[in-house]
Structure 1
């Protein structure tokens, strides 16, 4: 049946090819593509079909489309050239190309009626897909060389309602598009939008929206049910990519989930999936293996051991010496897990050890406990994993903004007497007026969920406030930590507060260390769920979807933004299946537990697109005295040695200048922005659908002038590149040593008069590890962070673009200037990291701040800004 249908198609194609008259004028073309591995051919029929097509010379056909001469018989689309077949599918030209690329030739017949071609219709008559990279035409009359950047998977033609079309690498605003090509521009966008129905399958090219209704798994029990995020005032959320999977059996509002073994088959548009060479393919393999095999084996390992770490020496052995694996477990490993994965996760060598790479935070053996110092605790708030939360303290004691109709007595209990002795001779009033007091506030975000977390999850934790003092040498000194628990007061929720102040020795010193650890637990959860997941991954996905649905590939803003969307939908889809799902890795290892994503939804209520721009973010947090409109305003930073802010502003203004130069070339006036139908549809859909729960917010740019466009595109690029790099690629360096960044607390602070207090006096390290994450939770977090901190071997760093991405000289020059500025910033970062006066650049742990160093290296390099959220 299949072969019969294929032969009928072959007959039609051959009839088309042989029915035309040959002429003497020809155009030579070259095509670069990557074949799907022959091992992926899943049936004899597909192999036979490919052979038949090649025998008849019609396996892949191409057809030129005129950019100059419309044809009424073609619906006023461009006049079509004759169908020509790709030559010698089974023989590629030498020399061989890198990365599995294959080079083919094609010869087109051409006549004057066709004119200069502006597009190519390509049909794949094989049984399987291939990845099409480029098509080049040589010596085109009236045009010379034409180049088509494709970078797309092309599936068998029978899977498409309309054949695939690829445009020359020219850039056109909608009104500038040659009339002969407009039909194809519109058809492409319609194909990418789909019709909003049905389950989407691999090979579909549809970009569409859905609610976050795929996190829960109620069919496996009520304990795995999760609220739908998005589409309500209670749980607003950005939209995700639609898969169209059927609802679960138990809850019609929840989408059914895939079997974990099939997780690689989750739908995302094929061109959004990881490239065939990308290290992230291995990362996907590892994530799948982590859930299916590694975590069960970690559980087995924990069962062979005392089930807890007892001392810092026990933990250090994971990195410096290794922990011997029991023989029985080795036998289990050998029979249940591939050798490559076993070596990756368990570092089995001749000694059979569980051993991890040494995180940077403990790599300095001259000062192995530097991570415990107060200076490092403060430094990581401006140069660590989550440098986005610290704010200027403007009133003392700190006040709560929780709804007074629900909450009472939520203001801080920290007094002047608690901190004034530690302000280097200043009074609290003087420190406030001189803008030297800062706060890391995890009170209002946690308090509404604290009762649920402590009652319904393994966690036992507090809401927290941390007050810091800016010292004369530019470092931040924590002067008080307040830990709070909810307390019913009538029909409202009050708080019980306990204030802790710095101590270095004895039991009080260990209580201070535990207080800092409770703060870090809160910060770790906020970092992973909000700073990282929500504010980069989740909020950017609607931009990816809207851009592909509303902006043609030849639109200048599509060309500007497209490199910054690479792989984002894929990593987000994997996260929903393996990391942030019900009972997934985040819920089982981070403090909010099953309320994790629900809490991020509540925090999304205060998300503001304009505040994602770094200058606006710093102003909102009171970190700058006035506005920052250029690098000349860096002196307005209240914390002069704030590595994230200093490096970030350099990157921000470089991005903004590049975007300004680029957009100003295509949009000469504000009216051109207003009159661009694709741009206006893009922005409207972005606000009203992609971020539909916030569509009525007054802060959205109106997209009525060039400045709106420039600032919006700069913010999108910043979030996709530098912001994500700052909160992602240092995860193993700081969090890979979990005592420095515990993600969960299991017991409350030891209090005098309780059994835990004498234990704290006798064995404080044991109390620390009984209070924080368990051995299994810690090992799981280490393994995940190691995987997610990797740079891909084919990583595209900020400023890098495909060759021949445009033919316009001014944007090419602006791109070159952008890259030159990024190279200068690299030199400036290196110089600052060597400046001994800047104590926050390296800190007690001796980690240079390189998270915003533009280029990086494969693996865990702790530096580099990829173009996109690719992991």
Structure 2
């Protein structure tokens, strides 16, 4: 007889324990007997607990490839969350079986040994299990759904409770999110005015809204929001750093003259464009978007064109046109106009920026894409696949938070519908137009920065930190995947990998070839690049565009969610009174603040980039690559912190110390 020492770890999650009988079988070239794990007076497998047993076999089972687990009900059917199983063989080898899966029934469940295998090198042949069966079962659980035609597909689910257990929030996160959502107005001490539909009568009343919770950034915003320098700065390091691009020729629809922007005659527009000092922000995606009605009042949303001039280390606006088509009732506003003419033009731009940022930059280009990536992983890759092991940590909570976003933010009764100019029909108009204009290169930050002509713009911390993070992630991805894929032919031969990218192209990008998204992988380099995009979007990019929402939006005049008056059609009519009448009403403002507070608040069980509490890899090479990845992230974090000590307004959103592994909020 030979003995196998089995150690089973139950996850440290609420309700992970079970009173049920648990049976285990070891499978190699032979099979062990089905063995009942020993009991004790406490749940046989309790939360965070470790259960050990010895399985004796007549002879060695050879190399272990799989275990079978089965839960049989004793008193009542309860769920159980096993984390992993370690087995020490009589030959002295230790085998690791990652699980991290809720078991809720009495069916047989199969889990592979931790060494990753590609489909064409997998020789495992066991009655009742195959890679194909595992994938088929997953596809029955994770089905594609259509929330709205023309936008990326999502998980099919009728309710929060119908989501698969494995992708739902933990009890602690559910409780925290519910508490923050329910008490946000209370914590901000705004509950008493949350239903006040009156307009603000003075700026001082807006000022009082920030008296309870403010950050260094929100206070800086409150003090500097009127300044041209800060207006330009936000295109680089605010919540929407993907819009600005170098302007080499003015579009015909933006009839700006040299005299308009350089009235002193010391500079020429054509010369400054040749030098690379002129930049354009075009909100054309907002053109023609139907606007909301709130509190019985029609709301307004512009589609501006903004011209900026880089002078020294500053980025300053020099011309603003609030609608796309030039006309007599669509003047070009200039810094030389009256104080309120110019200020109101900037406010309408900031309101437009809020609506475009939330729906395109934030919702579509991080949340919705991350959901597609996650769904394709779960539907097409078995747990033993190296890409599953690499990407599954970057799907953590994504499907749950997106279900909540659809039901509580952008639905017909959602917060976005109630309190923003683009709420309702406008949401889907913007999302559809944004997806149609999206390109693969714009998702790859090195290519995006180059295409937008921003490589030498000073004080562009989103670019600086983002490019460094991209390179660190890219090296990590290449190190992991090149361990498993030695040649381009192996990439081409991997049918599961090809199904993964095909699903993404079909259901995420709706088979639009114009996006440039790959439909298949022919080389290791192509695969590594796309996987880098997946991890970067799910972690760094989401942090960059999500974490600063309250910082930059809490001071409402800097980011109005809507405007209550139409944009000015001529100069000389704006004053403080018209500005206050244009601002969103009190209830719209405070509810918007509460949502931004909720979406910017990190939960206690967050997982930072580079942290892998679930041990999916078992070979030494990928484990070494993970350690090197973590060291590089720590070094970058120290560099960012040192830089931030020397700048007036620290840029923290891509510091690995705050970047989460996945889109989880």
After TM superposition, the score normalised by the length of structure 1 is 0.71
Q: Residue 407 of structure 1 corresponds to which residue in structure 2?
A: none
Gap runs ≥5 in structure 2: none
Q: 1:469 aligns with which of 304, 309, 319?
A: 309
Q: Residue 653 of structure 2 corresponds to which residue in structure 1?
A: 851
How big is each residue's C-alpha offset from its partner over 1:340-390, in whole Å with a ceiling of 9 and x where there is no partner? Answer: xxxxxxxxxxxxxxxx411433435xx952222111111011011111100
Q: Does 1:369 align with 2:210?
A: no
Q: Residue 210 of structure 2 corresponds to which residue in structure 1?
A: 319
Q: Residue 238 of structure 1 corresponds to which residue in structure 2?
A: 152
CA distance in 2, matches of 1:706, 1:752: 57
Tell me: CA distance 1:422–1:105, structure 2 relative to 1, closer, same or farther (3 Å): farther
Q: Does 1:130 align with 2:80?
A: yes
- Any residues of structure 2 matched to 1:521-560 within 5 Å, and which? 521-560=351-390
The structural deviation recorded for 1:156 is: 2.2
Gap runs ≥5 in structure 1: 1-22, 41-49, 70-78, 195-205, 213-227, 230-235, 246-257, 259-263, 321-355, 400-410, 488-493, 624-636, 836-841, 856-863
Q: Residue 596 of structure 2 corresponds to which residue in structure 1?
A: 785
Tell me: CA distance 1:529–1:90, structure 2 relative to 1, closer, same or farther (3 Å): farther
Q: 1:207 aligns with which of 142, 161, 185?
A: 142
How big is each residue's C-alpha offset from its partner over 1:612-644, in whole Å with a ceiling of 9 and x where there is no partner? Answer: 000121123232xxxxxxxxxxxxx13032111
CA distance in 2, matches of 1:316, 1:815: 47
SS at match of 2:100: strand
Largest Rg, 1 or 2: 1
- Any residues of structure 2 matched to 1:505-654 within 5 Å, and which? 508-594=338-424, 595-623=426-454, 637-654=455-472
SS at match of 2:255: coil
CA distance in 1, matches of 2:583, 2:397: 34
Contact 1:564 1:867 in 2 (8 A): yes
Q: Does 1:709 align with 2:527?
A: yes
CA distance in 2, matches of 1:181, 1:543: 30
How big is each residue's C-alpha offset from its partner over 1:175-200, in whole Å with a ceiling of 9 and x where there is no partner? Answer: 22233359333322111011xxxxxx
Q: Residue 166 of structure 1 corresponds to which residue in structure 2?
A: 111
Contact 1:721 1:869 in 2 (8 A): yes
Deviation larger for 724-733 or 181-190: 181-190
Q: 2:139 aligns with which of 172, 189, 193?
A: 193
Q: Does 1:428 align with 2:273?
A: no
SS at match of 2:628: helix
SS at match of 1:372: coil
Q: CA RMSD in A?
A: 3.0
Q: 1:91 aligns with which of 22, 25, 42?
A: 42
SS at match of 1:319: coil
Q: Residue 611 of structure 2 corresponds to which residue in structure 1?
A: 800
How big is each residue's C-alpha offset from its partner over 1:476-527, in whole Å with a ceiling of 9 and x where there is no partner? Answer: 011111112779xxxxxx88421111159xxx21222111110000100111
After TM superposition, the score normalised by the length of structure 2 is 0.91
CA distance in 1, matches of 2:291, 2:325: 7
Q: Residue 178 of structure 1 corresponds to which residue in structure 2?
A: 123
The structural deviation recorded for 1:91 is: 2.3
Count of residue pairs the alignment pairs up: 658
Tell me: CA distance 1:714–1:145, structure 2 relative to 1, closer, same or farther (3 Å): same
Tell me: CA distance 1:811–1:301, structure 2 relative to 1, closer, same or farther (3 Å): same
The structural deviation recorded for 1:123 is: 1.4
Q: Does 1:150 align with 2:99?
A: yes
Tell me: CA distance 1:81–1:690, structure 2 relative to 1, closer, same or farther (3 Å): farther
Q: Residue 502 of structure 1 corresponds to which residue in structure 2?
A: 335
The structural deviation recorded for 1:816 is: 1.8
CA distance in 1, matches of 2:533, 2:12: 34
How big is each residue's C-alpha offset from its partner over 1:734-760, in whole Å with a ceiling of 9 and x where there is no partner? Answer: 112222211111113457799xx4xx5
Deviation larger for 509-518 or 824-833: 824-833
Q: Residue 347 of structure 1 corresponds to which residue in structure 2?
A: none
CA distance in 2, matches of 1:549, 1:512: 52
Contact 2:440 2:516 in 1 (8 A): no
Tell me: CA distance 1:25–1:564, structure 2 relative to 1, closer, same or farther (3 Å): closer
Contact 2:356 2:430 in 1 (8 A): no
Q: Residue 381 of structure 1 corresponds to which residue in structure 2?
A: 235
Q: Residue 4 of structure 1 corresponds to which residue in structure 2?
A: none
CA distance in 2, matches of 1:751, 1:497: 5
The structural deviation recorded for 1:820 is: 1.6
The structural deviation recorded for 1:724 is: 0.5
SS at match of 1:463: coil
CA distance in 2, matches of 1:564, 1:144: 31
CA distance in 2, matches of 1:753, 1:684: 53
Tell me: CA distance 1:690–1:434, structure 2 relative to 1, closer, same or farther (3 Å): closer
CA distance in 1, matches of 2:382, 2:321: 53
Deviation larger for 692-701 or 811-820: 692-701
Contact 1:484 1:495 in 2 (8 A): no
Q: 1:60 aligns with which of 13, 22, 25?
A: 22
Tell me: CA distance 1:62–1:696, structure 2 relative to 1, closer, same or farther (3 Å): farther
Q: Residue 482 of structure 1 corresponds to which residue in structure 2?
A: 321
SS at match of 1:651: helix
Q: Residue 201 of structure 1 corresponds to which residue in structure 2?
A: none
CA distance in 2, matches of 1:618, 1:565: 26
